[in-house]
Amino acid sequence: MRTLSLLLLCLVAACSPKRPAESTHKIDGTQAERVAAVTKQLGRNAKLPGQLLDAHFVEEQTGDGKLGPSDFAAFYALTVAPADLPAWHAALATIPVVNSSGSYAAPKKAQPWWVSEADFKELKLYGPKSLTGRFNGWVGIAPDGRIFIYAFTM
């Protein structure tokens, strides 16, 4: 009986759900270093429609990729010259927003550079595929030259 109880206890412990591992990747450095890194990262998918003046990036990973796939959520904040905004709008005009219904999203750990929920409502939204390679999420453009990108896997 004791052996059976021990065996059952071990089985229950082995089957109890664990929270998936979570990690964060952030691009830090000087403004020039951040711009260079984000330009290179986004440039893998398409030629950017204009030069970045500033850039921020954080990506959250849920899962370690060992016992199943991981999910990723990437957040970019870009600053471009307001004069370059027509080129950004034109480059993104044919890309619809899918699988997020244009809902507000934010990094789990608040970032001072990320768009507020109130300001999000004023953004013109496009799909992120051409910039990030991901279909899910959105690109939001503010009239003052700020561009926010939320892209995720599921």
Q: Is 34 exposed, middle or buried (0-12, 13-18, 19+ CB in 10 A)?
A: buried
Instruction: Tell me the C-alpha distance between 50 and 143, whole Å.
Output: 15
Q: Is the pTM of this model over 0.75?
A: yes
What percent of the chain stands above pLDDT 90? 66
pLDDT at 99: 66
Name the range with the highest mean pLDDT among 7-11, 61-65, 93-97, 132-136.
132-136
Tokens of residue 5, six digits: 């109880």
3-state SS, 46-84, equals CCCCCCCCEEEEEEEEECCCCCCCCEEEEEEEEECCHHH
The chain-wide mean pLDDT, for the chain, equals 86
Q: Is 17 exposed, middle or buried (0-12, 13-18, 19+ CB in 10 A)?
A: exposed
Instruction: Tell me the C-alpha distance between 89 and 140, whole Å.
Output: 10
Query: For 110-132, how does the pLDDT look when each residue is reduced to its tens digit (9 = 90+)?
Result: 999 999 999 999 999 999 999 99
pLDDT at 131: 92
